Structure 1
Amino acid sequence: MTNPENSHSKPGTQSGLFSRFLNGVEFLGNLLPHPITLFAILTLTVIVASGIASYFGLSVSDPRTEGATIEVFSLLSAEGLAIIVTGLVPNFTGFAPLGTVLVALLGVGIAERAGLLSAAMRGMVMSASPRMVTVIIVFSGIISNTASELGYVVMIPLAAMIFKSLGRHPLAGLAAAFAGVSGGYSANLLIGTVDPLLSGITESAAQMIDPDYVVGPEVNWFFMMASTFLITLLGTVVTERVVEPQLGKWDPSEGDESVQEDDTSQYQLTADEKRGLKNAGIAVLVLSAVLALTIVPESGILRHPDTGAVAGSPFLKGIVAFIFICFAIPGYVFGRTVGKMKTDRDVIHAMSESMSTMGMYIVLVFFAAQFVAFFKVTNFGTVTAVMGAEVLQSIGMTGPMLFFAFILVCGFINLMLGSASAQWAVTAPIFVPMLMLVGYAPETIQAAYRIGDSTTNLITPMMSYFGLIMATAARYKKDLGIGTLVATMLPYSIVFMLGWSLFFFLWVFVIGLPVGPGAATYYTP
């Protein structure tokens, strides 16, 4: 048995080892303004820089047309000013992720406000056997990403309580849930709201090189579905073989008085919720059968009208509509069963509440859309991509190993800029065109980005829910600091980064599987 005193000193020791790292992350993160302010600054920077670059005649050879050049267009000119003032509204309303995310969230909002998502997660975890509890907690944490706050608000506190009730260290349960919710953020069995969000940004970036390129929300589905099981396995192994032995036996005196009142019974499903889950499950089966009839038969009405294939079909192009339907209908059935949704007003109220939480996102999109549009119209994106591609080719860094460096860069940026949409909106206009020019498809680039963006969520204080995790963890260890929590989560971050990157390499470049339906691995102009 591990000595409790020694076991509790280890995280503190590791905290000391990482103190400089944490101080650096916090310092750099605090230097950055709010993401909305950041995009406003970047937009103004692009405008001013375009004038300077145009004045000095910055240009590159056009890789798409022999003998042609691409010059930076100045937004400080009369024509540029006209583009700015006439483009503000179209840039915003035409920004690909805006409409798709809002439509998807209308359906998710019904399921979330009805209580379906919470009940499904609680039912899964509370019914797990002691032997399988770690697996189920990590898996449920990953699945909870369908509703962004559910995992942080419900899964993490519940996991700590369950581990405590089993005589295990509650911080190990918290760590397992945190690893699934945040470290496995991009993985999921279903296409969720993050998929149209990222694919819309990727599409805008890809169109700097190929104006007709389309990136659908489903393009990473295969890889992210398989990644769900990978992260579940890795998270379970790290919890049981590394983190829990390191923490040792928990001493209740280390927690505050409120932990004595922990009661998992508050998370138990009621009879109405059990009946609601059954009815919602039936609704899901019926919906699945109806959708299958439209896409599985060769004569399915939602297959491609000309080729009869699934690729490029109305089904895939309309996947956001199906996300809405497949959450809204089971959500309503559950809400109707438990008495939360009796009339159409209740459904409308649920959708309205869902939209009311999106105010910050809509403001962010306004400024992000201007940045992306101006970056494109000035040709900065293409010029940067060509110059970057030339550098990569000159040093011979154009093979699949390039993606390991790309994932590391994304993981590092994520330490300071925790928002997935904000980070991708900044980096996609640079990296997507650049990597396309060295031969890789946007779908593959996006999948690699999602690995880097997820794996360092666990060790950055800049992550939006980090304070909530700290508060929950402090209930079980009163003197817990940021360093202790980061030291506890660091093994997950390292193992996820290495294991997921290797899995990506094997999936894409060794086995040669597509990352999603109809997704290409290589880009051919």
Structure 2
Amino acid sequence: MTQATAAPSQTGFLGWVERTGNRLPDPVFLFLWFILALVAITVVAAWAGWSAAHPAEIDPETGTYRIVAVESLLSSDNLRRLLTEMPQTFTHFPPLGYVLTVMLGAGVAERSGLFSTAMRVSMARVPKALLTPAVALVSMLGNHAADAAFVVMIPLAGVIYHAAGRHPLVGIAASFAGVSGGFSANLTPGQLDALLLGITEASVQTVFASWTANIAGNWYFIAAMTVVYLPVIWFVTDKIIEPRLSGYAVDGSAAAGDDEPQTGTTIGQKRGLLHAFGMVLLVCGLWALLLALPDSPLIDPTAPPEGRMTPFYRSLLPFFLLVFLLPGWAYGRAAGTIKSQNDLVTMMAEAMKDMGYYMVLAFAAAHFVAMFAWSNMGLVLAVDGADALRASGLPSWAMLIGVLAFGAALNLLIGSASAKWAVLGPVMVPMLMLLGLSPEMTTAAYRVGDSATNIVTPLMPYFPLVLVFCRRWNKGFGIGSLTAAMVPYAIGILTAGVLLTVAWVLFDIPVGPGASVFIDTLPEAMSAE
């Protein structure tokens, strides 16, 4: 793989974004600074007697809502908890188990070649007139493949466009918009849902201990994002970007065929795809059978009607593990990339190695979220913030647009979706729950803002790599050229996402199976210690 070259210095707003972002510490150390700031704030808040009435817990002695005060994180109890419960704090962080579980399967699907081959085959023999929507759709669906979508689909789109007689830079731009601008859009939940909704669960539990995440809680919304974003990317590509980029000469090394991504498919790969498809059907059939059994383990007959499907929703995490793992294994056996059980185990182990940085980040984020809960800051901020928003008279959709806009702006400086949500979630989610908005809906709004601005910040980790792909076709294509090409996509995607969010709230459409826009009653409160 060609290495990314250093980006030229920028002036104006982009220059400010680049310089400011480069001065920020790594997200792991960013959480360290957040923790230190939180400790200082709790000391002052505890001294000042900052408190609020818990909205879901009655004091049996007074018959009124229990008053909860901010506790100093330097108190003896909190210091003892920090030092003695550190392993539990880390291992009980919900996103950690969710993400590692899904990645055991996704890692096999990626390393066996299933993801990359499926993307290549899906683009074969696409009519020229439908090339843009096909590239955009496959790029958005490729989000489940994580890194593979960036390193396979984006350069492949350039080759396909060039072969079709269209400018390769246009294909790269369209694919980049789908993979990164539509980062949360997909037809099914995946590892990103496990990651973000896991953080949502931890955020809710800082106030309401009984709430658990449903990995499919954003399913309907992200599927709608895919449908809505597709025509936006299609229009921007064909009507705005292609006329603009058509003047760029094709003079890079890729024009001569050097280092082009593979576009053909071998007999073994085709056989592997058939085996993988059969395995997908088998896994889906198994889950359907479990659901249809008279005494189904995926249905709780003793729960209220609205809670009977909870076991099914909770089972979707192992479902996605198997729906990635088994088809990846079936593909690898047929294609020759998995020759023994050792190969399969090695791929799973390598997937865990790739998660090393995430686990370091999760360790820091877990302690920030836990200490936020110990201090009662989340509850107090949520109650006071909810009171202020209630007094403002803003409609629910306007409050969600605020979450969306804040996430989009912060994304220009901090690229990690999980790092931003681990900071914003503990305040935003409980606060909007007190106003009747579900955690799933708040998470969905955040995802819209987080995705839209990915493609216009040089701080996005894959931005330099995409620039390298562009320079294969045009040696003089710079960071400013790429950013300028992606701005129309960002505006279009953000506008469409805002309209989708507003419509979703106004029409009160379920966000996912078992997840609605609004909540009628608050879950069980966090017990006092």
Is TM (by shorter chain) over 0.5? yes
Trace 1:318-357 onto structure 2 (pairs within 5 A).
318-357=315-354
Is the CA contact 1:142–1:188 (under 8 Å) kept in the aligned structure 2? Answer: yes
1:3-22 to 2 correspondences below 5 Å: 19-22=11-14
How far apart are the structure 2 equivalents of 1:463 and 1:315?
A: 36
Task: Tell me which moved more, 295-304 or 472-481.
Answer: 295-304
* Equivalent position to 1:40, from 32, 52, 56: 32
The Cα shift of 1:398 comes to 4.2
User: Match for residue 468 of structure 1?
Assistant: 465
Kept in 2: contact 1:161–1:262 (CA 8 A) = no
Measured after TM superposition, the shift of residue 67 of structure 1 is 5.1
State the Cα RMSD in Å: 2.0
- Which of 103, 117, 120 aligns to 2:118? It is 120
* Alignment-derived partner of residue 366 in structure 2: 369
Distance 1:398 1:380, change over 3 A: farther
Q: Which secondary structure does the structure 2 equivalent of 1:154 belong to?
A: helix
* Worse-matched range after superposition: 120-129 or 423-432: 120-129
Equivalent of residue 257 in structure 2, options 247, 256, 261: 261
Instruction: For 2:307 and 2:41, locate their aligned partners in 1 and report how far apart those are by CA, in whole Å.
Output: 44
Pairing 1:48-447 to 2, within 5 Å after superposition: 48-64=40-56, 65=58, 66=64, 68-252=66-250, 255-262=251-258, 266-296=262-292, 300-306=296-302, 312-447=309-444
Which segment drifts farther, 90-99 or 187-196?
Answer: 187-196
What stretches of structure 2 of length at least 5 have no aligned partner? 1-7, 59-63, 523-529
Write the distance in 1 (CA, Å) between the matches of 2:14 and 2:121. Answer: 37
What letter corresponds to residue 430 of structure 2 in structure 1?
P
Residues 131 and 298 from structure 1, CA distance in 2 versus in 1: closer, same or farther, beyond 3 angstroms? Answer: farther
151-160 or 394-403: which moved more?
394-403
**Which letter maps to 1:281?**
F
Q: Secondary structure at the match of 2:165?
A: coil
The 2-side partners of 1:235 and 1:19 are apart by 28
Residue 249 of structure 1 and its aligned partner are, at CA, apart by 4.5
Partner residue in 2 for 1:9: none
Q: 2:483 aligns with which of 475, 482, 486?
A: 486
Contact kept? 2:252, 2:472, Cα under 8 Å: yes
Per the alignment, in what secondary structure is the counterpart of residue 55 of structure 2? coil
Amino acid at match of 1:232: L
Question: Aligned equivalents of 1:193 and 1:51: distance in 2?
Answer: 37
Cα shift at 1:464: 0.9
CA distance in 2 between counterparts of 1:75 and 1:173 reads 52
| Deviations, residues 190-228 of structure 1 (Å, cap 9, x unaligned) | 221111111111011112332211221110011112222
Q: Which runs of 5+ in 1 are unaligned?
A: 1-14
Against the structure 1 CA distance between its residues 24 and 165, is the aligned structure 2 distance closer, same or farther, given a 3 Å change threshold? Answer: same
Q: How does 1:477-516 map to 2 (within 5 A)?
A: 477-510=474-507, 512-516=508-512
Cα deviations across residues 123-169 of structure 1 (Å, max 9, x unaligned)?
A: 00123221211111111111111121111101111111111222211
- The CA deviation at 1:373 is 0.2
Aligned mates of 1:435, 1:47 — CA distance in 2: 24
Contact kept in structure 2, 1:170 and 1:250, CA below 8 Å: no
Report sequence identity in percent: 39
Matched position secondary structure for 2:330: helix
Structure-2-length-normalised TM-score: 0.92
Checking the alignment, whether the CA contact within 8 Å between 2:302 and 2:308 is kept in structure 1 is no
Contact 1:29 1:417 in 2 (8 A): yes
The aligned amino acid for 1:141 is S
